[in-house]
Amino acid sequence: MPEKPLILVTNDDGITAPGIRTLINIAKTIGDVVVVAPNSPQSGMGHAITVNSTLFLEKVTIDKELKHEYSCSGTPVDCVKIAMDQVLSRVPDLCISGINHGINSATSVLYSGTMSAAVEAAMSGVPAIGFSLDDFSWNANFSVIEPFVKDIIEKSLHNEFPKGVALNVNFPKPADGIIKGVKICRQANATWVEKFDERVNPHGKRYYWLTGTFHNHDTGTDTDLWALEKGYVSIVPTQFDLTAYNAINIVNNWNL
């Protein structure tokens, strides 16, 4: 009997979040699942790793069908690193991260713990996917997107997967509950305009809450934001090489 694919599952919302529990249930129908996820929410951690304090890894039993499920005190990237070094018996066939409560489109991918975990796996040569849903609610309805998630996972396992790439998959929350299909996209040129709301606590000490508005500067019809706004699933192949190749010749002309 052929060996089942080994699938590593992680996230940034924490191991008990409904999004990751949905992803685990889907992954169990496809392969052997190992879960290593943060023991508390780690949203916005990006590619942070723990270097100035200790890490704790605890075996837990949330899903009785799983033999290997661990909560980690670190970041999503820590979870992938420690899974590869301490937990997994072999290199996984796929790493999946999410399902995030909230989208990770455009430049939000840089701040995303969900996608950073997937990118970390890709850096290690493991095919990886980050899944996100445009719904921040803890009680978000994932049922509409489940068939898409399963199809993307299965096709990722049975087709050539681009080396060093993590797929950034975002799902819309359509008002009519119908997703029109899937679009392979580029990352939109959109940015956050941040503002820090200054307040004073009862002891007279100033503190700040980060707020802001999201601005889409991109009018293209091939972007992740365009696809999501039109009711499509967006898939952006994402890589960890941040080299601006078009700038190399410009900087060379400085004669440094």
Task: Look up residue 155 and give its amino acid.
Answer: K
Pairing, β 32-38 against β 69-72:
parallel
Domains of the chain: 6-189+220-243 (3.40.1210.10)
| 179-190 average pLDDT score | 94
| 109-121 average pLDDT score | 95
| 129-153 average pLDDT score | 95
What are the strands of the beta sheet with 128-133, ordered from one edge?
57-59, 69-72, 32-38, 6-10, 94-101, 128-133, 165-171, 232-239, 181-184
| 174-202 average pLDDT score | 90
| 73-81 average pLDDT score | 96
Flag whether pLDDT at 250 surpasses 50. Answer: yes
What are the pLDDT digits (tens) for 35-52?
999 999 888 889 999 999
Flag whether pLDDT at 211 surpasses 90. Answer: no
| Contacting residues for 24 by C-beta, under 8 A, at least 6 apart | 9, 33, 35, 63, 66
pLDDT at residue 1, rounded to an integer: 41
CA distance 30 to 67: 16
